[in-house]
Every structure is written in structure tokens, then in C-alpha cells.
């Protein structure tokens, strides 16, 4: 049986396909369109997933969208009557409803086929149920507390409850317009980061300031009892003006915060303006108050779970790695699972899993242990490309390739590493990565100026062999998906300065040989050469979506000051490649 899950007409459009309950393929549309956070219909992602499943659209049995415009209709009507928001707000919500109200018809239109030829049953799955399903039904747990926190979807921003076997039981929800995701986005805009997805920048900036604006920030978001919270709505305007989205391509928020936020905190920072100390302090305060509300939600979920010591978390706020790294030290839970596409892309997977388990009643059989569900390319395809591009290269077996690449990294060279199937989710996890020596402090500036062209305050991630985590970090809990920040042991910080943030932390990836043997072997070889089983890993891109194809990798290699490119077994090195 084939179940196709889709996130469409929403940021991070994506598709995922299950065959007999097993995830076969999943990908974000941005990787094909080459537009970050693409928000239209993910046709190319769907086409890829069907190809990976060796199926045609006519052979799909169920198609599920991770949105349900019929959900909470009464709440929507009452809100509109009571608050009388701008006509643009109502029009935006109505347009959204029309786009996703009938998954089967939408598929038929997108693929220009007669709906009568489609055997699929269409399903609309509530946004947060899709989020929760994406985490719990992909986890190794038969029972756990479940939590979803994001901007909003289907008029809800937060939902929690319990997952048991093939069922989700919902305890509480927080309704629009109160949203931790929009709190963080609105404050990101205030700090001069206006784009959809810029919240990561505030997380990086937070380490450079002291949270000395807490009293003011607690007026912006107020934590109540039992896990609930409220926004100080005077400081926002999303609930009256709406949030405009480009339903064809790149999502774009209109301004979320109001003028009263600047009256409270002082003038906002213009994009690109110098970073003042007060903005660093505000970033630190944003993160601190976000954590107060986030941990209050998790505490309420724990208390309502019947004593479960496990939690599954999803939603855009589940990618706040600073907060996630503190969950176990706070003793809220002993075990946690956050699947790699915790944001809205993950609702494609969640919608499919919800249908498979909760609608169809099928037993649990899938567990997500890796993220490699995107397109892969054969060596023959790569060789054909390199010959056509007249790109000189050597074809090397791994016993020669691994020492060559590890030596290049040791010598200060910047390596583009392309292998296997592309990662699912926003993180490069060893298949579409740029790798450098973490022992070289200058590598932060090298990558930012030569390759990434991004703000200097943003940290880079350490990839470390799973069995060596305790040697370098204060926590040893595995994190294969790079969604938690841990403290680097004080005595090791000088050893790996390029991946140690200013606050002594690192957003690590733990690498097990069973999940990615070639990547593991490369890190192990670097460890053999240097005594440090860690590599700096950042996404293989410049300032666009992570590369998907060998051609995109080659183009990025050529236009940046990268030194070495590895495409499976093909080794390329620029003339005059130099150590940093």
C-alpha cells in the first residue's frame, strides 16, 4: 500500500512516501526549485518520491495533506466576529483553505490527470497532529509524551498529549493568536533578521549577550500555569493584519511585530546595521524567555503523560537546539526524539504516518534512525557529468580516498563532500556537507568569508564519532540529527575551537558507523591522523538551498573558494589549492 504525504502552500513544502508503512523517500521542494523555504505545491518532490517508490501517481492508495481547513472552524468564525481583523487576513485564510481543501483534486490538477484515474483516498490531517505523528510514529517508543510547538497551523500554535502504540491522545492546545513561533519570528524581525527562517540567527546571536531585558520580554510573552502562555498582543500585529505568504514560491512574512515593541525595547535594528550590545542582550533575553515557556509546556506534558520519561517533539520550535540540549539536564525526561525535519516539511511525513496508523489502524513497523531519504546518484552519472564538464578528477577506492581527504582537511583545506542520498530536513548530516578541520580557530572566518557569506556570529557544528562523545561533551546522549546543543568539556574547548561557540557549546552530530559508514570512516581517519575524532560540518551550499545534484555540487565548488570536491569516489582538487 502506498501513502503519499504532502506539505503544500506553506513554508518548507515537501513530500514523503510510505510503502507498506516504511518510509521510502522524503524531500523538500526547495532542493529542486533552488528557492529557500519554497511554499508552493511540491510537484518535483512528489515526483522524486514516486520514482523512489517505483510508482505512478495513479497507483497511490492514500494522499494526505498536513493541513485541515475544516479544523476549528467555530474558533475561526468566533475570532473573526469578535476581533474583526483586516480583510487581507480573512482573504489570506480563505485562499489557504481553498488550496488544500481537497488533496485528491489538488493532486489531479498538479499532475494534469483525470481525477477518475486516481484511486487514492484524500485526507486532510490537522497540522499539529501531523507534526506529532512525524515525531512519535517515527520514534522507537511505544509510549511517550508528545509535544508540538511552532508558528501556527489550522488555528493552533501548540499541542501536547500522549502517544501510545498507534494512537495519539491530545490533552491541551494553545490557539491562535498566541504562538511561541511567532514570538521568536517577530523578535527576529525586530533584531534585523526579516526573512522566513532567520530565527537560527537569533539563536547564534543569543550567546553573545546577557539576558538583562527579561522584565520587558516577559511582557511580550507571559507564561501561565499548566503550560499555557499568552503573547502581549499589543506588541504584535499578525492577529489583525495576517501573515502574507507567496503561495507560488518563496514564503515571506509581513512585519509581525508592532510599533509598540520598539516603544518597549527601543528602536529596532535595520537589516545589515551594526550589531549593538543592546541587540545582543535582547537576543539573549528572547532565548531565555522562550525557554521559560518551552520548558513550562514540556513540564505540563510530562505531568499529563502518566509518568512517561520519554518525549517526542515536533514543530518549528523543536529545532531550537539551544533549548533541546537542556531537556535532559533539567530532568524533564530521560529520552527524547526529534526527527530531522521537525519543522513544517515534516508534516508531509507526519500526515502519511497519521493515515497509516491512526486512520488505517496499521501496526508500528518503522523507526527513523537516519535522515538519508533524498535523491542519490550513481558513480556512472557522476563520471558522465565530470567528463561533459571537462572537470579533471581521479576515481579512487575508499582505502585511498579516505586518507587523501582526511589529509587535505588536516592541512587546512576546505572539502565539499557529496555521497549517498540527500538528507531529509534542514541539516547537512554527512552526505551534502562541507568539511574542515575543527582544530583551526580561523576556520570560522575562512568559511564565512570564502564560502558561506553569512554573519560572523553564527556557529559551526561538530560531527563526532558516537563512541567518543563523552570525551568532548558534557552529555553523551546520541544526537544523529544535530538538533541539540551540548556544552563542550572545558578542557577540550581549545582543542576544537572552530566548533566551540562563544558560550562553550556545540550543536553536535553524533555519527554511528551503522548509519553512515563512509562518513564515519572519514572522521575516524581524521582522528587517526590528528588524535581528534571530530570534523567541522556545515551544509554544502553558498547562500542557497543545500545542493541536491552532483551538478549543483560542482557549480558550488567552482564558484567558491573551496579546495577539494568529493563526488562519491571522484576526487577533484583545484589548481593551486591552498591551506587556510
CA 300/CA 310 separation, integer angstroms: 13
Mean pLDDT across the chain: 93
Give, to the nearest 10 degrees, the angle between helix 398-410 and helix 517-530: 50
Q: Can you tell me the mean pLDDT for 64-68?
A: 94
Look at residue 157 and tell me if it is in a domain.
no
**Alpha helix (H) residue ranges in 137-198:** 180-190
> How sure is the predictor about 578, in pLDDT bands with cuts at 50, 70 and 90?
very low
Look at residue 163 and tell me if it is in a domain.
no
What is the reported pLDDT for 251?
A: 55
In 8-56, the DSSP E strands lie at 14-19, 22-28
Strand 415-418 and strand 564-567: the pairing is parallel
Evaluate whether 466 touches 533 at the Cβ level (below 8 Å): no
Q: Which residue has the cell 507564561?
A: 223
CATH at residue 424: 3.90.870.20
Which residue among 306, 337, 368 closes a domain? 337
CA 214/CA 201 separation, integer angstroms: 20
Is 394 found in the same domain as 521?
A: yes
What is the reported pLDDT for 116?
A: 85
What is the reported pLDDT for 245?
A: 47
Is 86 found in the same domain as 58?
A: yes
Evaluate whether 488 touches 456 at the Cβ level (below 8 Å): no
Evaluate whether 293 touches 221 at the Cβ level (below 8 Å): yes
Q: Between 69 and 83, where is the model more confident?
A: 69
Is 507 found in the same domain as 437?
A: yes
Look at residue 215 and tell me if it is in a domain.
yes
Look at residue 580 and tell me if it is in a domain.
no
What is the reported pLDDT for 360?
A: 98
Share of the chain above pLDDT 90, in %: 83
For 345-360, what is each residue's pLDDT tens digit?
Answer: 999 999 999 999 999 9
Is 310 found in the same domain as 222?
A: yes
C-alpha cell at 254: 509581513
Q: Can you tell me the mean pLDDT for 179-190?
A: 96
Grouping H, G, I as helix, E, B as strand and the rest as coil, residue 156 is strand
pLDDT at 270 over 80: yes
What is the reported pLDDT for 543?
A: 86
Look at residue 366 and tell me if it is in a domain.
no
Is 86 found in the same domain as 44?
A: yes
- Distance in Å from the first CA to the final CA of the chain: 52
Q: How many domains does the chain have?
A: 3
**Alpha helix (H) residue ranges in 191-276:** 199-206, 214-220, 238-241, 259-265
pLDDT at 393 over 70: yes
Look at residue 168 and tell me if it is in a domain.
no
| H or E stretch at 88 | helix 87-100
Q: Between 71 and 19, where is the model more confident?
A: 19
Is 553 found in the same domain as 526?
A: yes
Q: In a 10 Å sphere around its CB, with 0-12 CB exposed, 13-18 middle and 19+ buried, how is residue 472 labelled? A: buried
Query: CA 542 from chain center: how many Å?
Result: 18
Is 383 found in the same domain as 524?
A: yes
Please list, in sequence order, all residues whose beta carbon lies within 8 angstroms of the beta carbon of residue 28, skipping any fewer than 6 positions away. Answer: 12, 13, 14, 38, 42, 45, 341, 345, 424, 545
Share of the chain above pLDDT 70, in %: 92
Which residue among 359, 391, 408 closes a domain? 359
Cis peptide before 110 (omega within 30 of 0): no
Helix, strand, coil share of the chain (percent; to 5): 40, 20, 40
Mean pLDDT check: name the lowest of 38-42, 261-265, 395-399, 469-473. Answer: 38-42
For 322-342, what is each residue's pLDDT tens digit?
Answer: 999 999 999 999 999 999 999
What residues make up the domain containing 279? 180-337
Look at residue 405 and tell me if it is in a domain.
yes
Q: Can you tell me the mean pLDDT for 67-85?
A: 67
Q: Can you tell me the mean pLDDT for 191-205?
A: 93
Closest-CA residue to 164 (of 65, 304, 333, 68): 304
> How sure is the predictor about 453, in pLDDT bands with cuts at 50, 70 and 90?
confident
CA Rg value for the chain? 23
The CA-atom distances, in angstroms, between 520 and each of 258, 372, 467 are 48, 14, 11
What is the reported pLDDT for 211?
A: 97
CA 85/CA 517 separation, integer angstroms: 54
Strand 22-28 and strand 167-175: the pairing is unpaired
Query: CA 451 from chain center: how many Å?
Result: 21
Is 302 found in the same domain as 267?
A: yes
For 302-315, what is each residue's pLDDT tens digit?
Answer: 999 998 999 999 99
Q: In a 10 Å sphere around its CB, with 0-12 CB exposed, 13-18 middle and 19+ buried, how is residue 412 labelled? A: middle
Query: CA 392 from chain center: how many Å?
Result: 35
Q: Can you tell me the mean pLDDT for 103-131?
A: 92
Give, to the nearest 10 degrees, the angle between helix 346-354 and helix 127-136: 80
> How sure is the predictor about 105, in pLDDT bands with cuts at 50, 70 and 90?
confident
Evaluate whether 146 touches 132 at the Cβ level (below 8 Å): yes
Is 195 found in the same domain as 113?
A: no
What is the reported pLDDT for 246?
A: 44
CATH at residue 198: 3.30.420.40
For 210-259, what is each residue's pLDDT tens digit?
Answer: 999 999 999 999 999 889 999 999 999 988 876 544 444 555 557 899 99
Look at residue 155 and tell me if it is in a domain.
no
pLDDT at 142 over 60: yes
What is the reported pLDDT for 471?
A: 98
CA 367/CA 162 separation, integer angstroms: 18
Question: Cα 287–291–295 angle (5° rounding)?
Answer: 170
Task: Say how many C-beta atoms besides its own lie within 10 A of residue 549's C-beta.
Answer: 17
φ, ψ (nearest 5 deg) of residue 333: -145, 155
Q: Can you tell me the mean pLDDT for 515-521?
A: 98
pLDDT at 544 over 50: yes
pLDDT at 442 over 90: yes
Q: Can you tell me the mean pLDDT for 365-385?
A: 98
pLDDT at 86 over 50: yes
What is the reported pLDDT for 85?
A: 62
Is 328 found in the same domain as 389?
A: no
Q: Can you tell me the mean pLDDT for 186-199?
A: 93
CA 13/CA 6 separation, integer angstroms: 7
Is 349 found in the same domain as 393?
A: no
Q: Between 154 and 2, where is the model more confident?
A: 2
Grouping H, G, I as helix, E, B as strand and the rest as coil, residue 354 is helix
Is 278 found in the same domain as 355?
A: no
CA 292/CA 311 separation, integer angstroms: 18
φ, ψ (nearest 5 deg) of residue 571: -115, 120
Question: Cα 406–410–411 angle (5° rounding)?
Answer: 120
The CA-atom distances, in angstroms, between 96 and each of 67, 69, 89 are 10, 8, 11
C-alpha cell at 182: 511567532
In 383-431, the DSSP E strands lie at 394-395, 415-418
* DSSP state letter for 228: -
Amino acid at each position: 500500500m502506498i501513502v503519499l504525504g504532502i506539505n503544500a502552500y506553506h513554508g518548507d513544502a515537501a513530500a514523503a512516501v510510505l510503502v507498506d508503512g516504511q518510509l521510502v523517500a522524503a524531500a523538500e521542494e526547495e532542493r529542486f526549485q533552488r528557492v529557500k523555504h519554497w511554499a508552493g505545491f511540491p510537484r518535483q518532490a512528489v515526483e522524486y518520491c514516486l520514482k523512489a517508490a517505483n510508482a505512478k501517481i495513479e497507483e497511490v492508495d492514500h494522499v494526505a495533506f498536513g493541513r485541515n481547513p475544516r479544523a476549528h472552524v467555530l474558533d475561526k468564525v468566533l475570532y473573526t466576529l469578535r476581533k474583526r481583523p483586516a480583510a487581507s487576513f480573512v482573504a489570506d485564510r480563505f485562499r489557504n483553505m481553498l488550496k488544500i481543501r481537497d488533496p485528491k483534486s489538488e493532486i489531479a490538477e498538479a499532475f494534469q490527470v483525470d481525477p477518475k484515474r486516481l484511486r487514492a483516498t484524500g485526507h486532510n490531517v490537522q497540522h499539529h497532529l501531523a507534526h506529532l505523528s512525524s515525531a512519535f510514529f517515527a520514534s522507537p517508543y511505544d509510549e511517550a509524551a508528545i509535544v508540538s510547538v511552532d508558528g501556527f497551523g489550522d488555528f493552533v500554535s501548540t499541542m501536547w498529549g500522549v502517544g501510545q502504540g498507534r494512537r495519539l491522545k491530545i490533552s491541551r492546545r494553545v490557539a491562535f493568536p498566541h504562538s511561541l513561533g511567532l514570538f521568536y519570528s517577530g523578535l527576529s524581525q525586530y533584531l534585523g533578521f526579516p526573512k522566513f527562517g532567520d530565527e537560527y540567527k537569533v539563536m547564534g546571536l543569543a550567546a553573545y549577550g546577557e539576558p538583562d531585558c527579561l522584565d520587558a520580554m516577559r511582557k511580550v510573552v507571559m507564561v501561565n500555569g499548566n503550560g499555557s502562555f499568552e503573547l502581549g498582543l499589543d506588541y504584535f500585529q499578525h492577529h489583525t493584519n495576517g501573515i502574507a505568504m507567496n503561495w507560488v514560491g518563496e514564503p515571506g512574512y509581513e512585519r509581525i511585530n508592532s510599533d509598540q515593541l520598539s516603544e518597549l525595547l527601543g528602536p529596532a535594528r535595520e537589516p545589515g546595521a551594526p550589531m549593538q550590545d543592546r541587540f545582543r542582550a535582547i537576543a539573549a533575553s528572547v532565548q531565555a524567555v522562550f525557554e521559560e515557556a518551552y520548558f513550562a509546556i514540556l513540564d505540563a506534558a510530562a505531568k499529563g503523560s502518566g509518568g512517561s520519561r520519554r518525549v517526542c517533539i515536533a514543530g518549528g520550535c523543536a529545532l531550537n537546539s539551544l533549548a533541546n540540549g537542556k531537556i535532559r539536564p533539567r530532568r524533564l525526561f530521560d529520552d527524547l526524539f526529534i526527527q530531522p525535519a521537525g519543522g513544517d516539511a515534516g508534516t508531509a511525513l507526519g500526515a502519511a504516518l497519521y493515515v497509516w496508523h491512526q486512520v488505517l489502524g496499521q501496526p508500528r513497523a518503522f523507526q527513523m534512525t537516519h535522515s538519508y531519504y533524498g535523491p542519490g546518484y550513481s558513480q556512472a552519472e557522476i563520471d558522465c557529468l565530470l567528463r561533459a564538464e571537462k572537470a579533471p578528477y581521479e576515481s579512487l577506492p575508499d582505502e585511498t580516498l579516505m586518507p587523501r581527504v582526511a589529509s587535505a582537511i588536516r592541512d587546512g583545506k576546505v572539502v565539499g563532500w557529496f555521497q549517498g542520498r540527500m538528507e531529509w530536513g534542514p541539516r547537512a548530516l554527512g552526505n551534502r556537507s562541507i568539511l574542515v578541520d575543527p582544530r583551526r580557530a580561523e576556520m570560522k572566518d575562512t568559511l564565512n568569508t570564502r564560502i558561506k557569506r553569512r554573519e560572523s556570529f553564527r556557529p559551526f557544528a561538530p560531527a563526532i564519532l558516537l563512541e567518543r562523545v563523552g570525551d568532548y561533551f558534557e552529555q553523551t546522549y546520541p544526537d544523529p540529527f544535530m538538533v541539540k546543543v551540548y556544552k563542550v568539556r572545558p578542557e577540550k574547548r581549545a582543542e576544537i575551537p572552530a566548533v566551540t561557540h562563544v558560550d562553550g557549546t556545540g550543536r553536535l552530530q553524533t555519527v554511528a558507523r551503522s548509519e553512515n559508514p563512509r562518513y564515519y570512516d572519514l572522521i575516524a581517519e581524521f582522528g587517526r591522523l590528528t588524535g581528534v575524532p571530530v570534523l567541522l560540518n556545515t551544509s554544502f551550499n553558498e547562500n542557497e538551498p543545500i545542493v541536491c545534484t552532483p551538478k549543483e555540487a560542482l557549480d558550488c565548488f567552482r564558484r567558491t573558494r573551496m579546495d577539494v570536491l568529493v563526488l562519491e569516489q571522484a576526487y577533484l582538487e583545484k589548481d593551486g589549492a591552498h591551506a587556510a
